[in-house]
Structure 1
Amino acid sequence: MEFLPDELLLIIFQYFNRFDLLDSFGNLNQRFQRILEPYLYEIDLTREDLSYQHFVTFYKYIAPIQGHYLRVLKLSGEHQFHLFQSLIHLFINLELLTLKSIVFFGSQEYAQLENLLTQALQIQYLSTLSLSRLDAPETIASFASSNLTSLILLNEHNFDYPHIQQPISTIKYFSLNLRQFQSTTFSSVFKILPNLEEFKLSILNYYHKSTNQHHRPNVQVPKTLNKLYLEFKHEEPLNGEILKEEFLDLFKDQIQSLTLIVYNATVEYSNLYNLLSDFTSLVTFQYDIRSLDSTFTSSSTLDLNLNHINFCENYSSFNNCTILKALNLTFHDQSTLSPDEHYFLTEFLSSLPKLDTLTVFTDDTKAVIQQLKSLFSKKSSRKMTQFYIEDLRQNDPKDHCPRHPPIYDTTLIYELSQLFPNLNTLTFPCHTKFISEYPTTLTIFLKQLQNHLPKLTHFTLKLMYRNRDTYDNYIKNLDECSWLYYTTTRCLYPDYNGSWYEAHDLHIWL
């Protein structure tokens, strides 16, 4: 390979896994190092298709030697937070750090995150910090250098942090993905981040209008703020009056650049001049406003229950879901689909070019796989990377009856490999038939998974029964497997007598 031109080497390298490539050819000589250096600029360890073995390769053999090339690093979970505490100081040129995990104050994971942040914030060139939510704010405020100017929160609930006293004064750009907007949101943001120049707010699910004008907090907009991005993605329609009174009027005296995106707008938006007439400094305005009849074109996830659809009338409501990526599909108790149901689903699934995630709610895995076989084209099925099987009652929050996992079929994994060969994520509940086949160990089953689904990296087994022996046996077996990593999640399920019992999910990283 020494005699091949650089252009041909780059073509060959496209067929290698990035970490195998860096481990095999990194530091081989100056020429290979120069060619491979860009492969180290951005490392994402949160990807669903990352195997545990490739993670270990990066952590043990690549990061300690070549970590100074990193510019962007993305981590997720306590395991990664813990391991990278001893390495983060090596990433001296790191510019963007993402830490994805919902942690709870006082927990071990919170402590791991706080320790990792303390070290990362001392990196000279770190300019952007991306978190799931604003955890360890005092740590950020205390240790952030003047170069840390951008803060991104990926999955914040309501941004309610009344206890925070020390502002994070270095932040100029703030991006907030918010599930629930409150009347106190703006005052909280500007209290913690008093020197903002650019603010991007995306409200994901819910907006609660201020009901009492006299009890709204006094919002002091930073004088430095001149660029605003507002995005409304919640299902509840947002009318122009609320938008103007609750959002736009607050910024009318100083915003120079405004971007407005509304996915569920009412008719008042036909006259944008009324919304913007009071802006005195506006120079640039960009917008994407969609009316009620185009809701589905902006959806990335859709819940579809076959029991609640009139198939003769409703297909036209769904035929524009061009950006749909995740589908939650509830099958009814019948083992076969009616002709109308089959036609609707076949046409619908074939019209989703970006669909890669499917969750099915069913009571029988064998029946549902057979149904899916008849619905997916070969082209569509190869795009599927994430597949989740759930209890039929799981998607009904009002149903407190005992859970019954879908019947496990011994051919499930083989059938899945034929149907969705490119899966990297799989989840299903543990039925008694599964326990009967694998009473004490998961090793044989996990090896079958790897053989039939070679791209699979994440598997979750939901142990819904009160069978402590099975859980203990599986944990003991997993502890003996050095080629994987696992975590557990405690879950509560309704019992026959109206009480709740504890069970566990096993999350296995292959």
Structure 2
Amino acid sequence: MEKLPDELWLLIFNSLHKFDVIYSFHDLNLRFQNLIRFYASSIDLSDLSFKVFLRFCRETLPIHGHMIQRLTIKGTHQLNVFGEEYILLKRMNHLQCLTLAQVQVSTEKLDVYLKQIPSLNTLHLKLSHNSELRLENILSKNMLFLTNLSLLEHNSYYFENVNIIAQSGTQLPQLKILTIEDLKTTNDLYYLFKMMYNLEELNLCISKFDPQSLLDNAVPQLLTIMRLEITCTLDSQQTMNLLREFLFLFKKQLKSLKLIIYSMEEKFVTELNDIIKTNFPNIVSFDYSFEILNQPTETLATVSGCFNIMLNANFFKMTLQKLKNYTTVLLDVDDRHSQIESLLTSNDLLLPKLYKVYIYEKFFSSDLRIRFYSKLLSISPNIRYLYVNHSNSEATINLLSKLPKVTKLMIKNLSCRNSYKECESPFHETYIIELSQILPKLKELILETPVWPETSHEKNLTPILAIMHSRKYFKSLIHLRLKLKIHCYQNDVGGVMVQKMDEALTAYLKDDQYKNLFYETIYSGNQLYIIDVWF
């Protein structure tokens, strides 16, 4: 073993899970300790089962915590473990970057967590959809040292009272990079600039574009890198005029600019190029894209990492070759589109960047559309995430069963919803059993808005049955989320029905066979009851 060169060991490590490498080869000798240092420097806990996560906290973290520089925590269950044992955070005394994804966290707890990590300079927040954490809560005294802040997911609470925060004198002079996935208006940007006046990079997806709310003297003078996504809600010429006004505020300092504009006419490409070429003397890198964005718009593109493009049936107006640049595609396909056959008969098209597909189906899936989905997914070697909205769960099973075998093994995340013309229907009783046979490698399953029946019906999938079947039939499943509509919630005076559901779930999961899982329930207050289970 000692005679093998380092290069060969690194090749072996690359075929193993990162945690298996760290767990198996630590403390062998100084050579292997140095070899695994790279694997311990960046830790992503999002794809770990609850059991493996606990093993990591108890056995790996105490030994290798000082090596960790970047950490991703996903789910309240993981955050709670760190919250209960602050010593775990203190052991990561070289941690620089922390990502919190899908967590429920109060202001007080977040402040306490960050206090344990004085070395932190980068924070990425992807909070739960109903988190009420606001910017004023985030900007505590323990956050003022950050140099990189990302506010991801579409959280309408983030920027409430941002004007009051700015007027109170709060400042973040150390902040150099800011990423915001969904800023409602440039009015908020004015106040953010007042607090973050030393920004050097801005990544922004904005809904309401109004440059007049900004002033030249409010723009950070050191800002040289910008990635901007906007939607053309007015006509294209008006949007171009507003964009010109906005960009002119930064014309003296911008060196790198990336633009994605939705619903903009292609004929304005020349005008945009002329604006940049004529008025931005310091620009070194300029990239732009005009894209089509139609309903549904609840899943907008994101500026974090790469730019994800959401498209519907209108993408057939573009060439099929342009699909090569997309990471995410929304499909609402009509049999009448001649380009469906073009894709089906194409032999040289490969979509290496595509990893997420949204499928919106009508009452039934025609053979032509199923062939189209199968073809599209078969030429997407990196597909991982699939969202299916169908009229009923039997139709979804039929569609998934006809996908290529290799695609079935590649899909790791599946979200399903039964909805047609605003009518919801429950999932049938054996849905998860059938699903486990079709997608055996699934790690995350989300069943969205099934109806919670008044009483358990033998033909419906109840929440308890969903948990039981997921644990029994899926070997790799880590996370199950049930988003349930409560029957007759208007009559639930004082939340009695919600309380009874919580009690029934707690009583069921007290059984010893479920001791190695974590669950939490969230009631959003508008009929939606969420059960998160981490196996």
Length-normalised TM-score, structure 2: 0.75
Matches within 5 A, 1:339-488: 339-374=367-402, 376-393=403-420, 399=422, 403-406=424-427, 408-410=428-430, 412-428=431-447, 429=450, 436=458, 442=464, 446=467, 448-450=469-471, 452-466=473-487, 471-480=502-511, 481-488=514-521
The answer as to whether partners of 2:43 and 2:68 remain within 8 angstroms in 1 is yes
Whole-angstrom CA distance in 1 between matches of 2:472 and 2:201? 48
1:368 and 1:7, CA in 2 relative to 1: closer, same or farther beyond 3 A?
same
Q: Percent identity?
A: 24
Match of 1:117 in 2: 114
Q: Is the 8 A contact 1:490 1:505 kept in 2?
A: yes
Tell me the secondary structure at the aligned position of residue 332 of structure 1.
coil
Q: Do the aligned residues in 2 keep the contact of 1:114 with 1:136 (CA within 8 Å)?
A: no
Q: Bigger CA drift: 357-366 or 84-93? A: 357-366
Give distance in 2, aligned partners of 1:115 and 1:242: 46
The residue type paired with residue 531 of structure 2 is: L
TM-score (norm 1): 0.78
Residue matched to 2:176: 173
Q: Secondary structure at the match of 1:163?
A: helix
Quote the Cα distance in structure 1 between the aligned partners of 2:459 and 2:434.
17
Cα distance, 1:449 vs. partner? Answer: 3.1
Equivalent AA in structure 2 for residue 378 of structure 1: K
Q: Deviations over 1:241-266 (max 9, x none)?
A: 335434211112x2140313224343
For the structure 1 residues 420 and 435, does the alpha-carbon distance in structure 2 shift closer, same or farther, using more than 3 Å as the test? Answer: same
* 1:385-414 C-alpha deviation (Å, 9 max, x unpaired): 111221214xx6xx4x6x4313x142x334
Q: How far off is 1:423 after superposition?
A: 0.8
Please report the RMSD computed on the Cα atoms of aligned residues, expressed in angstroms: 3.7
- Structure 1 residue runs of 4+, over 6 Å off? 316-321, 437-441
Q: In 2, distance between residues paired with 1:128 and 1:431?
A: 41
Aligned partners of 1:486 and 1:507 also within 8 Å: yes
CA 1:351–1:363: 2 relative to 1, 3 Å: same
Please, which runs of 5 or more residues in structure 1 have no aligned partner?
494-501
Select 2:522's aligned residue among 455, 469, 489: 489
State the distance in 1 between where 2:55 and 2:17 align: 11
Distance 1:286 1:207, change over 3 A: same
| Corresponding residue number in structure 1 for 2:309 | none
Equivalents in 2 of 1:362, 1:110: separation in Å? 39
Please list, as runs of the form range in 1=range in 2, the aligned pairs for 1:47-446 lying within 5 A after superposition. Answer: 47=46, 49-85=47-83, 86=86, 87-101=88-102, 109-120=106-117, 122-123=118-119, 126-132=120-126, 135=134, 137=136, 140=139, 142-144=141-143, 148-155=146-153, 157=155, 159=159, 161-164=162-165, 165-196=168-199, 198-203=200-205, 206-209=207-210, 216-222=213-219, 224-232=221-229, 234=231, 236=233, 239=237, 241-252=240-251, 254-264=252-262, 265-266=264-265, 267-272=267-272, 274-276=274-276, 279=279, 281-290=281-290, 294=318, 297=323, 300-305=327-332, 309-313=334-338, 315=340, 322=351, 323-334=353-364, 337-374=365-402, 376-393=403-420, 399=422, 403-406=424-427, 408-410=428-430, 412-428=431-447, 429=450, 436=458, 442=464, 446=467
Amino acid at match of 1:99: L
Q: Specify the SS of the correspondent of 1:61.
A: helix
1:497 counterpart residue number = none
- Give the superposition deviation at 1:312: 4.0
Find the residue that maps to 1:143 and give its secondary structure.
coil
Q: For residues 136 and 179 of structure 1, what CA distance do their matches in structure 2 show?
A: 13
- Which stretches in structure 2 are left out of the alignment for 5+ residues? 128-132, 293-316, 488-496
Name the aligned partner's letter for residue 217 of structure 2: Q
Secondary structure at 2:149's aligned position in 1?
Answer: strand
Q: Is the 8 A contact 2:332 2:360 kept in 1?
A: yes
Question: Residue 485 of structure 1: CA displacement?
Answer: 0.8
Deviations 1:430-465 (A, max 9, x none): 7769764899994x8656534543221111234445
Aligned twin of 1:499: none
Aligned residues of 2:149 and 2:177 also touching (Cα < 8 A): yes
Q: 2 CA distance for matches of 1:439 and 1:366? A: 12
